[in-house]
Amino acid sequence: MARNKFDIDENLESPFNLKHFRRALVYIRRQQKPMIIAFVLSALSAGISLSAPLIMQHIVDVTIPAKEKQSLVWWSMLMLGTIVVSVILATIRSRMMTRVGQDIIFDIRMDLFKHLQKLPFQYYDDRPQGKILIRVVNYVNSVSDVLSNGIINLVLEILNLLFIAIFMFAVDVKLSLVILAGLPIFMGIILMIKTKQRRGWQSISNKSSNLNAYLQESISGIRVTQIFTREQHNEETFTRLSTNYRSAWMKTMYYNFLMPFSVDNLATLVTAAIYFVGLLAIGPKEATFGVILAMSSYAARFWQPILNISNLYNSFINAVSYLERIFETLDEPVTVNDVPGAKELPPIQGRVTFDDVTFAYDPGVNILEKLSFDIKAGESVALVGPTGAGKTTVVNLISRFYNITGGKILIDGHDLSEIQLRSLRSQMGIMLQDSFIFSGTIMDNIRYGKLDATEEEVIAAAKTVCADEFIREFEKGYMTEVNERGSKLSQGQKQLISFARTLLANPRILILDEATSSIDAQTERLLQKGLNELLKGRTSFIIAHRLSTVKNCDRIMYVSDKGIAESGSHDELLAKRGRYYKLHSAQKMEATV
């Protein structure tokens, strides 16, 4: 399925079944104590409120005809008391369930976030960020009330129906049967529309996800949009996605509102039937006015839980479509993970060995085939070659961001597939091509990879990469707040801060992927002095298109044709007059133009 597009609906990997809902009960059990208390309070409130029609019947049939004024006052106060107590209990229960609902949201969202932290790069390569975010935020919000209040309310409404039925039959059997006569019609309506409702909510989920994905993409690329004056085109796309969402919503609401519409009309017909049967068919001798009045009240009360259950059913159908998405995410396999019995990688020297390594992002389309090389500890290696040849792939495999298709990768003789990821990556310093800056202070960003670093260590790292000077030009220096992705910083400044962050971790293996691509030539020369000192004793892999930055590396490997086409020092490769020589000559010619 083509998932990495905002205008393609996400089809579920598997159909929904009750196992999904049973899994949701795990979160409910964590809150079972307050939910039980809330259930008891609700039951007491419902039971007390059900006594009101009986009190009213007694007042109409006994107290008023007997003209017992004192008794009328007491019965009225009793009826008022039942209402007040019922409201108080319901209020306490409502507050408790609000907290329970928020706790359930917190638990589900934390489980999702923890799982997302472990998923491999491949998962994020295949999906728009917006379609991931909506599951963690919107979908979790949508299911919380059903998993908290919904479960309790469903049980309560069912019990309420039973209690009301008992009270009804205790008052009058024939009129009770009249009230129950509408149930078969109601059940038929449910069976008729339930499948269409579920499909409708799945469609809403898809269109909402598409809309959110495009909105996130548009915000992230707003600068490009305005540069190329694409506002009108983007507005048309957003209008189309919004229209699709609106159409899906309106179609689903048609079936959604059919339930309360049916209940309201059935309740009205049943109430009319009570007066017809009670006054005409049965007669006033068998059914007093107080009995008919009480039964009409019970009829309204009987169909109110059914209306509530129908609304809960709608909410359940809605929640089902979101639970499917949530559990689909939680079921996403963590393919890059510690194998059972994985060992901790001891402090390393930094020898890196590729042994017949084959790798493919997509099955059958190999990026690397039977790649083999051996890098000694402390050796600096440059990876050069055409775009898309696999340079970044090589360093990603060293960090084990992806699983290899075949062969082995070893560090100091330890197979990466058999060691703990944390112990591997904690000894590596990686600066990716995209210099990501987090919201917070510059100090926090540099300290990100080593939280216990002192301010002196942070400043020393910044000085090494020539970042200290521009940082001190800010009014608050290292305490300067930067926005998400470092929008207040130039691209070169972001790279220098990322450089300091990587170097502060003091790694044994250092990976620099186009680390100096956004730094001017003068700053690069200053930076090179600090790097030359820092790279001593560390194994380093440097990816760069500008060959001037890698000519001093111990080894240069030209990546092409799914492997290493050439390997050697700068002078050795020039002497071969092969691909590296042609690349070097082309860049030299461009520099003189």
pLDDT at 3: 47
Same domain assignment for residues 407 and 543 = yes
* Model confidence at 13: pLDDT above 50: no
Same domain assignment for residues 465 and 586 = no
pLDDT at 279: 63
Same domain assignment for residues 351 and 419 = yes
Q: Is there a domain that residue 1 lies in?
A: no
Total domains in the fold of the chain: 3
Which of 330, 359, 385 lies at the terminal end of a domain, its last residue?
330
pLDDT at 443: 92
Closest CA to 375 of 491, 134, 539, 566: 539
CA dist 222 to 8, 134, 227, 493, 585, Å? 22, 20, 9, 21, 39
CATH of the domain at 453: 3.40.50.300
CA dist., res. 541 & res. 388, Å (int): 17
Q: Is there a domain that residue 269 lies in?
A: yes
Same domain assignment for residues 72 and 217 = yes
Which of 330, 350, 368 lies at the terminal end of a domain, its last residue?
330
Runs of H (alpha helix) within 59-137: 64-66, 69-118, 121-125, 129-134
Same domain assignment for residues 412 and 441 = no
pLDDT at 370: 92
pLDDT at 118: 86
CATH of the domain at 206: 1.20.1560.10
Instruction: Assign 430 a pLDDT band (cuts: 50, 70, 90).
Output: confident
Digit-coded pLDDT (tens) for 519-565: 666 666 656 665 666 677 789 998 877 777 788 888 999 999 899 99
Same domain assignment for residues 384 and 494 = no
Give the global pTM: 0.65
Digit-coded pLDDT (tens) for 564-584: 999 999 999 999 989 988 888
Instruction: Assign 2 a pLDDT band (cuts: 50, 70, 90).
Output: very low
Q: Is there a domain that residue 11 lies in?
A: no
Which one is predicted more confidently, 268 or 528? 268
* Model confidence at 1: pLDDT above 60: no
Least confidently predicted of 298-302, 466-470, 543-547: 298-302
Least confidently predicted of 80-94, 120-134, 406-420, 457-471: 120-134
CA dist., res. 328 & res. 153, Å (int): 27
CA dist., res. 302 & res. 300, Å (int): 5
Same domain assignment for residues 468 and 543 = no
Same domain assignment for residues 458 and 479 = yes
Q: Is there a domain that residue 152 lies in?
A: yes
Q: Is there a domain that residue 10 lies in?
A: no
DSSP calls for 180-238: HTTHHHHHHHHHHHHHHHHHHHHHHHHHHHHHHHHHHHHHHTHHHHHHTT-HHHHHHHH
Which residues partner with 348 through β-bridges? none
Q: Is there a domain that residue 490 lies in?
A: yes
Which one is predicted more confidently, 527 or 341? 341
Same domain assignment for residues 357 and 502 = no
pLDDT at 169: 81
Least confidently predicted of 16-25, 64-73, 191-200, 238-247: 16-25
Which of 300, 330, 360 lies at the terminal end of a domain, its last residue?
330
Same domain assignment for residues 455 and 552 = no
Q: Is there a domain that residue 8 lies in?
A: no
Same domain assignment for residues 416 and 437 = no
Domain membership of residue 415 as a residue range:
342-427+511-520+527-593
The segment with the largest mean pLDDT, out of 360-364, 489-493, 542-546, is 360-364
* Model confidence at 10: pLDDT above 80: no
Digit-coded pLDDT (tens) for 98-118: 788 788 888 888 898 899 888
Averaged confidence pLDDT in the chain: 80
Digit-coded pLDDT (tens) for 49-102: 777 777 777 777 777 777 777 887 888 888 888 888 888 888 887 788 778 878
Same domain assignment for residues 178 and 86 = yes
Digit-coded pLDDT (tens) for 17-51: 566 677 777 888 888 888 888 878 877 877 777 77
Instruction: Assign 286 a pLDDT band (cuts: 50, 70, 90).
Output: low
